[in-house]
């Protein structure tokens, strides 16, 4: 069998959840949209079900998949519904819909609810992507408050630049949010991973942890408080020695400068490894750091072996404990979020 494995350490996931909840205080949503950032939403949800105050997903389908697998924790739909008819599913499965636009609000009020609903009312505090403008927020809030099926309202907003510690945008968004919420009772939620870790004023009733839940710092580099959940590994299945001045791979973009032992590993961009992370991107061979040489192909990657590293059969970590996915992201000009979401074709295994 092809030796590409994505090992998902659920104990690390639980550790990260508890760490983030403790840093933030209050309650914490585990954000498991997009199949838990490529980690497997159902497995991750079950690993967290006796800890998590709630889960957050992006679509009704994602929420229903969790419910049908037996998850009973609260589930927030971060973007709400995409058409009015979905409120029937929200009602049936007892989901907490985000409401971030006028049509969602009107359709929610018009829906014939069987059960009381908890609404997450989104404010556009400055990101200008979704949510009610601050000057329209009170009227949206009041309209919901007057709807007898609405059981409570959580006021929430999202930061554009929380992962940039010196960006004044976060402070401006905080101010806009607090000003517009004056006099409106109810719980609040502002912090994504970056704000949970780095913006104490953003810690309110509910945090919303995504990337950091998977053990990865939203600031680049490594955060020692977090433990990476995914470890993507493969094995050397080919080995050769190349003379100096030999090209390697597509485009002949890399030439050896000396006699070089090259290992061929089973992983490529068809598995979601970024093609742009070619020569010099880090890997760890049997725990020892080395690098990719030449271009990443669809199914294969060539790496530099040194004399002390084993050849055929050696384990190669693409990211996990020695190589942080933030290093790969930087080499590729990407963010770790998109790399996680791209992982496929690997064999996923889960450890408790
Ligand atoms: C995805 C998402 C989050 C989680 O963000 P991270 O940076 O991964 O922690 C939080 N809030 C909202 C509204 C989101 O869409």
Q: Which residue in 250, 228, 244, 234 sits closest to 297, CA to CA?
A: 250
Q: What is the mean pLDDT of the chain?
A: 97
pTM of the model: 0.97
Ligand 1 centroid–CA 30 distance in Å is 9
- Pairwise CA distance, residues 136 & 97, whole Å: 19
- Pairwise CA distance, residues 296 & 303, whole Å: 10
pLDDT at 306: 87
Q: Which residues of 153-170 are buried (b: 16+ CB within 10 A; e: fewer)?
A: bbbbbbbbbbbeeeeeeb
Q: State pLDDT tens for residues 49-78.
A: 999 999 999 999 999 999 999 999 999 999
**Alpha carbon nearest to ligand 1 atom 4, residue:** 210
Q: Grade residue 201 by pLDDT with cuts at 50, 70 and 90.
A: very high
Judge if the beta carbon of residue 233 lies within 6 A of ligand 1.
no
In this prediction, residues 316-332 reach a mean pLDDT of: 98
Q: Grade residue 308 by pLDDT with cuts at 50, 70 and 90.
A: confident
Ligand 1 centroid–CA 44 distance in Å is 16
Judged against a pLDDT cut of 80, whether residue 307 lies above it is answered with no
- What are the structural domains, with CATH classification, of the chain? 10-214 (3.20.20.10), 230-350 (2.40.37.10)
**Residues designated as active site:** 33, 250
Judge if the beta carbon of residue 328 lies within 6 A of ligand 1.
no
Judge if the beta carbon of residue 158 lies within 6 A of ligand 1.
yes
Q: Grade residue 236 by pLDDT with cuts at 50, 70 and 90.
A: very high
Q: State pLDDT tens for residues 78-110.
A: 999 999 999 999 999 999 999 999 999 999 999
Judge if the beta carbon of residue 209 lies within 6 A of ligand 1.
yes
Per the annotation, binding residues for substrate are: 129, 298
Q: Give the three-class secondary structure for 226.
A: coil
Specify the pairing of strand 230-242 against strand 282-285.
unpaired
Q: Give the three-class secondary structure for 94.
A: coil
**Which atom of ligand 1 is found nearest the CA of 163?**
7
Judged against a pLDDT cut of 90, whether residue 126 lies above it is answered with yes
Q: Grade residue 244 by pLDDT with cuts at 50, 70 and 90.
A: very high
Ligand 1 centroid–CA 87 distance in Å is 22
Give the residue, out of 122, 192, 341, with the most ligand 1 atoms within 8 A of its beta carbon, to mutate for a pocket test: 192
Judge if the beta carbon of residue 218 lies within 6 A of ligand 1.
yes
Name the CA radius of gyration of the chain, rounded: 23
Ligand 1 centroid–CA 100 distance in Å is 15
In this prediction, residues 234-261 reach a mean pLDDT of: 97
**Alpha carbon nearest to ligand 1 atom 8, residue:** 210
- Pairwise CA distance, residues 190 & 320, whole Å: 29
Ligand 1 centroid–CA 291 distance in Å is 32
User: Do the beta carbons of residue 204 and residue 190 sit within 8 Å?
Assistant: yes
Ligand 1 centroid–CA 209 distance in Å is 7
Q: Which residue in 155, 153, 192 sits closest to 30, CA to CA?
A: 192
- Pairwise CA distance, residues 33 & 37, whole Å: 6
**Alpha carbon nearest to ligand 1 atom 15, residue:** 78
Judge if the beta carbon of residue 28 lies within 6 A of ligand 1.
no
In this prediction, residues 195-215 reach a mean pLDDT of: 98
- Pairwise CA distance, residues 22 & 197, whole Å: 11
Judge if the beta carbon of residue 192 lies within 6 A of ligand 1.
yes
Judge if the beta carbon of residue 211 lies within 6 A of ligand 1.
yes
Q: State pLDDT tens for residues 29-52.
A: 999 999 999 999 999 999 999 999
Give the residue, out of 30, 31, 190, with the most ligand 1 atoms within 8 A of its beta carbon, to mutate for a pocket test: 31
**Alpha carbon nearest to ligand 1 atom 6, residue:** 210
């Amino acid at each position: 069998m092809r030796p590409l494995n994505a090992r998902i350490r659920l104990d690390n996931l639980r550790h990260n959840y508890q760490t983030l909840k403790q840093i933030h205080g209050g309650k914490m949503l585990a954000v498991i949209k997009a199949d838990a950032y490529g980690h497997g939403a159902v497995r991750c949800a079950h690993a967290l079900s006796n800890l998590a105050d709630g889960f957050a997903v992006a679509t009704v389908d994602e929420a229903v998949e969790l419910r049908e697998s037996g998850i009973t924790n609260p589930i927030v739909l971060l973007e709400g519904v995409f058409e009015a008819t979905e409120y029937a599913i929200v009602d049936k499965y007892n989901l907490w819909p985000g409401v971030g636009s006028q049509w969602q609000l009107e359709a929610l009020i018009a829906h014939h609810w069987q059960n009381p609903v908890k609404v997450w009312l989104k404010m556009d505090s400055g990101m200008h992507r979704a949510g009610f403008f601050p000057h329209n927020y009170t009227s949206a809030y009041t309209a919901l408050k007057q709807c007898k099926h609405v059981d409570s309202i959580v006021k929430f907003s999202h930061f554009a630049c929380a992962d940039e510690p010196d960006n004044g945008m976060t402070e401006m968004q905080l101010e806009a949010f607090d000003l517009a919420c004056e006099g409106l009772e109810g719980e609040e939620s502002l912090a994504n991973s970056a704000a949970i870790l780095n913006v104490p004023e953003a810690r309110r009733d509910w945090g919303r942890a995504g990337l950091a839940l998977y053990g990865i710092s939203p600031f680049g580099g490594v955060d020692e408080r977090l433990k990476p959940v995914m470890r993507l590994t493969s094995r050397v299945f080919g080995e050769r020695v190349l003379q100096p001045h030999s090209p390697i791979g597509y485009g002949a973009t890399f030439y050896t400068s000396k006699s070089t032992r090259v290992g061929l590993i089973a992983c490529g961009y068809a598995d979601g490894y970024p093609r742009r992370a070619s020569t010099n991107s880090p890997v760890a061979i049997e725990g020892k750091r080395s690098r990719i040489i030449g271009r990443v192909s669809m199914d294969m990657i060539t790496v530099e072996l040194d004399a002390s590293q084993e050849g055929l059969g050696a384990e190669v970590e693409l990211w996990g404990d020695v190589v942080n996915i933030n290093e790969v992201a930087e080499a590729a000009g990407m963010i770790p979020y998109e790399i996680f979401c791209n992982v496929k074709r690997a064999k996923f295994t889960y450890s408790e």
